Structure 1
Amino acid sequence: MKYLTRRDFFRRTAFGILPALALPHLAHSSLSFSSTDVEVETSYGKLRGLRTEGVNIYKGVPYAGSVSGERRFLKPAALKPWTGVREATRLGPPSIQPPNQTYGINEPDPAEDCLTLNIWTPANDDKKRPVMVYNHGGGFRTGSAGSVAQDGSNLARMYDVVVVATNHRLGLLGYLYLDEIAGDEYAGSGNRGIQDIAIALKWVNENISAFGGDPDNVMIFGESGGGAKTSCLYAMPEAAPYFHKASIESGPGVMMKTADVAAETTELLLKRLGIARTDWRKLLKLPPSVLLDAQEQLQKMGDLSQIAGFHGIGAAGKGGFGPVVDGVVLSTHPFDPIAPSLSKEKPLQVGWNEDEFIFFAMVSGDTEAFQLTQEKLYQRIESILGDKAQLVVDTYREAYPKATPTQLFIAIRSILIMGLGSITIAERKTKQGGAPAYLYNFGYKSDLKVPGTDYEFGSMHALDIPFKFHNIDNVLDKSGHRSSSMAGNRPERFAASDNMCQLWTSFARTSVPSAKGQPTWPAYNLDNRPTMRIDSSCEVIYDRYATELSMWRKALS
């Protein structure tokens, strides 16, 4: 089965204008905003951004120095102050990655020196708004801070918060483990990508007051790979002083790559490039394109445990590149065997979307998944779980007697991909006895159809992104035109988005998520296990998936 990237999906669907769906409301209209210059003084020099539609926006702001040339695989050089006023009106370059994997407007080509961030704030004043620092998705391999779906303008304007998003190193350049062959200077090399984010958080701590933000009230959050990055930051001493709460969204990083697996991947890379261990410094001279090609070749031989595994995104096997439990940057797995003690007093949100797997089936072109027979359902589950398949299928059939085989398959795969890891995190955080954990399911159902089928998007993976940023309608595409988002056409989408934004921004503001007119969201506990189901009308569900979880604990023990 060929897995496509998030960018491939977005290009085919919501942000690619959905040509196959031929929906009438997708006609474009050119868009222009009136903007005025706005300046701010940082500790490194003045920045000139734009005030647009009631929001001050600064793009491509450097937070660290070079990571190219002799700085490759090292922590970045110190950021040098500048004189005069630096323009901050254009996105910075994303990290080196395969082509066409980002979807920002007027976004530069990927580059090795990529350490910039974007800021959206209602005003540069002394109001001390909560600060929400977002970690983009795309695994640890693709993506950028410039995504149109993750634009922070509406969130900042409508909910009076400061939003920040970072570019950071990805793939081989961010996660090549050289600790065992390159000496002390390269200790921590397998975690440069998340170290970059920690350095960005330090920049935020030192400078966000000038943007109307409160450096003593910073929330980190992220979806998919961004959730896994957030999981790592939650367990990372280098990041700990600079954030105060976290939200892990459809990306439960329970476990990360072990050092021995990372070392094996490094050996495979050197072999592919024809470089001896003792000549590893040749890696510093190779063009990024050569390294990227080798990375992609190794990726093909790596496993897909970040999609199919039971330990959450990040616990992939050899061949891929991601954070490493190295004893330097990450001393332990983020949430295994327990929640990290250094974040014991930091509140946590964690959860997933009800129909996660629809996304993965769609981007892989697996249209058969949306028209399964009972026999095909069993065969597919058996290919994943072997002799446990009958127990799993029977349990889900009993729990959902009216569901089709496809609906059962999506339910099973969705909880395997994201649900079990999210619940594990909530349980282990709760067992600590410190700050609370809040567990959620995003349940709003988009009525758009999977291309080539009559099956709706439902609450698939990544659907929550436009909802939590209130970018659910008339999203700007890369050409600066408006198009429909993947939220679909149901009028209830606006209420669902407002509920999610209120929950997220109230959590950022007070550490207790709440939304006007919606039920109180209880902290997770091990007795009645409350889960907030987020939709146009929210609902607290106690001990959700009790039957299924009882089975999973037996089947996976």
Structure 2
Amino acid sequence: MTGTLTARTPYGDARGRDEGGVFVWRGIPYAAPPVGELRFRAPRPPAVWSGTRDCTEFGPIAPQSLDNAIPMDPASVRDEDCLTVNVWAAPPSAEPRPVMVWIHGGAYYLGGSSQAIYDAHRLAASGEVVVVTVNFRVGVFGFLDLSSLSDAEHVFETNLGLRDQIAALEWVRDCIGGFGGDPGCVTVFGESSGAGSITTLMTVPRAQGLFHRAIAQSPPATSVYGGDRAATVARRFLDLVDLAPEHAGKLVEMPVDQLIAAGDTLVDEIPTKVPGTLAMAPVVDRDLVPHYPVAAFQKGLAHRIPLIIGTNRDEASIFRLMRSPLMPVTSDSVSAMFAGIVADNEGLPPERIAAIIAAYPDLPRAKGVMALSRDAAFRMPSQWIADAHSRFAPTWMYRFDQATPMLKAARIGAGHAAELPYVFGNFGTMSPDPTFLLGGRRTALEVSGRMRRRWVSFGAHGVPAALDGSKHWTRYDEDTRTTLVIDKVDTLVDDPDSALRQAWGDDVMGFS
């Protein structure tokens, strides 16, 4: 069939389509549908199919509310049968290509691989890498830990979203050769909760060897909680769906929309009551996830693979604009966050909190509040990981400062997720998109080109070189803490914001 290409996998043949010189396969199942008795259970292998499967349309997105701030196609189909991958690859070559696997963000309860911004055409067009994007369970179905409600008749397993991601990486290991990819050279990359999934997976023994490099963009790496907290959230969830604990097994039969609605209530309620926390996130279950990830990095227990990690200069701005409870962006909520951290970390010296507060002279004004919230959620966890990981494996750190004139005028700047269109080269996926109303397109395209070349070079060769004469990106270590500041022109800065780093210290602060 003209303009198509069939890939062979152990589960059956998959037909993709030539889209402007890049072959694309969409909606390939990597696991069995997690429905019926498999709801709230770990993923199972997909069924073998006969004939050639037409893989030209995205699979359904995971069950979630479509009335949210993340731009999803209004025509998106939601279904529990959502465990699919998509593949972008240049025409076949004699040698297998390195693979880059994208894990999307969305605060662990939103998002999908079919979001237009994640179209990987431009990344794959270079011919240097094959790109895979992954759907996995989110929210109630993927990151609500109901294991405390298990009984002899009904078992609820932990960290289902992470288990889905591992199953997808196992699919890559077993199947990507049929698409021209090299299963022995896999880079995972992701943003926000996708990046937090990656920093967690880097400490998961079962994920060892499934990926060989990692890029973590703005990971909320300390938003991983303990079993006791997870059990408390699970009981509150039962209250919302009007079930007694002894009847938790009925969750397997309840309508999807009823579970989504209760999950959305949790998403708003939990961070409002305890600012700085998420309702649903990975859990230290001592099984799949044996340790709190940042502590595992500091103990040298993370997989010793090359890592790029970084944050954006103005992470909190978009949360303030949306009035989202997911980040504390008022003086009162930041104070409540610190009160909660002190209560959750026995023996934390009061003078340490005082030193941190003193490092933000703009408090309690909005500028200081957003800076402190940014550092608590993203920058310091990334700093702690970079410091620790650089002792054991090659590490590169960045700070994304680039913002168009319009985003600066709107006081959004380099907000959370602002780097995504630069990494994928996809501008204009929002409708309407104000990004270039005051100009700046040429500069943005130049920055995007450098970022894509660095990301692809890292995936293909293990070194984030722009390959165009741009600034050489020096590896990060604890002596210099050299950081690439990505802006109109890339610059290398040793230990940026050193005063803030020293105020926070090296001991991890977070909720358990």
> TM-score scaled by structure 2?
0.87
Q: Is the 8 A contact 1:159 1:502 kept in 2?
A: no
| Partner secondary structure for residue 238 of structure 1 | helix
CA distance, structure 1, for counterparts of residue 265 and residue 227 of structure 2? 21
State the partner residue of 1:4: none
CA distance, structure 2, for counterparts of residue 191 and residue 223 of structure 1? 18
Task: Encode CA deviations 1:95-150: one digit per residue, 9 max, x unaligned.
Answer: 11112456455853211111011111112344322211111111110000011111
Q: Is the 8 A contact 1:138 1:226 kept in 2?
A: yes
State the partner residue of 2:488: 536
CA distance, structure 2, for counterparts of residue 332 and residue 37 of structure 1? 46
| CA positional deviation for 1:229 | 1.1
State the partner residue of 1:164: 132
| 1:262 and 2:230 correspond | yes
| CA positional deviation for 1:419 | 0.8
Please, which of 399, 411, 419 is the counterpart of residue 379 of structure 2?
419
Identity of aligned residues (%): 28
| Partner secondary structure for residue 336 of structure 1 | helix
State the partner residue of 1:222: 190
CA distance, structure 1, for counterparts of residue 78 and residue 299 of structure 2? 34
CA distance, structure 2, for counterparts of residue 280 and residue 150 of structure 1? 37
| 1:447 and 2:405 correspond | yes
CA distance, structure 2, for counterparts of residue 42 and residue 147 of structure 1? 25
State the partner residue of 2:283: 324
| CA positional deviation for 1:544 | 1.0
In structure 2, the CA distance between the partners of 1:498 and 1:159, relative to structure 1 (3 Å rule), is farther
| CA positional deviation for 1:522 | 1.9
Task: Encode CA deviations 1:207-226: one digit per residue, 9 max, x unaligned.
Answer: 11121211111011111111
Q: Is the 8 A contact 1:95 1:169 kept in 2?
A: yes
> TM-score scaled by structure 1?
0.80
State the partner residue of 1:333: 292
| 1:82 and 2:38 correspond | no
Aligned 1:67-78 pairs, distance under 5 A:
67-78=34-45
Matched to 1:59, the amino acid is R
State the partner residue of 1:55: 22
Aligned 1:153-552 pairs, distance under 5 A:
153-158=121-126, 160-183=128-151, 189-303=157-271, 309=276, 316=277, 320-336=279-295, 338-339=297-298, 341=300, 343-364=302-323, 395-397=359-361, 407-430=367-390, 433-449=391-407, 454-472=409-427, 475-476=428-429, 486=435, 489-490=439-440, 491-515=442-466, 516-552=468-504
Please, which of 152, 159, 165 is the counterpart of residue 120 of structure 2?
152
In structure 2, the CA distance between the partners of 1:525 and 1:381, relative to structure 1 (3 Å rule), is same
| 1:45 and 2:12 correspond | yes
| CA positional deviation for 1:272 | 3.0
List gaps (5 residues or longer) in structure 1.
1-34, 310-315, 371-376
Q: Is the 8 A contact 1:73 1:176 kept in 2?
A: no
In structure 2, the CA distance between the partners of 1:426 and 1:177, relative to structure 1 (3 Å rule), is same
Moved more, 504-513 or 342-351: 342-351
Q: Is the 8 A contact 1:40 1:48 kept in 2?
A: yes
Q: Is the 8 A contact 1:124 1:210 kept in 2?
A: no
CA distance, structure 1, for counterparts of residue 218 and residue 15 of structure 2? 35
| CA positional deviation for 1:257 | 1.4
State the partner residue of 1:16: none
In structure 2, the CA distance between the partners of 1:429 and 1:455, relative to structure 1 (3 Å rule), is same
| Partner secondary structure for residue 372 of structure 2 | helix
| Partner secondary structure for residue 201 of structure 2 | helix
| Partner secondary structure for residue 205 of structure 2 | coil
In structure 2, the CA distance between the partners of 1:229 and 1:42, relative to structure 1 (3 Å rule), is same
Matched to 1:86, the amino acid is R
| CA positional deviation for 1:486 | 3.6
Please, which of 76, 84, 94 is the counterpart of residue 61 of structure 2?
94
CA distance, structure 2, for counterparts of residue 145 and residue 407 of structure 1? 34
Task: Encode CA deviations 1:158-217: one digit per residue, 9 max, x unaligned.
Answer: 363111111111111113323333258977722011100100000011111121211111
CA distance, structure 1, for counterparts of residue 322 and residue 164 of structure 2? 29
| RMSD value, Cα | 3.1
Task: Encode CA deviations 1:218-273: one digit per residue, 9 max, x unaligned.
Answer: 01111111111111211112222210011111123135110111111122222333
CA distance, structure 2, for counterparts of residue 382 and residue 274 of structure 1? 33
| CA positional deviation for 1:457 | 2.9
In structure 2, the CA distance between the partners of 1:525 and 1:355, relative to structure 1 (3 Å rule), is same
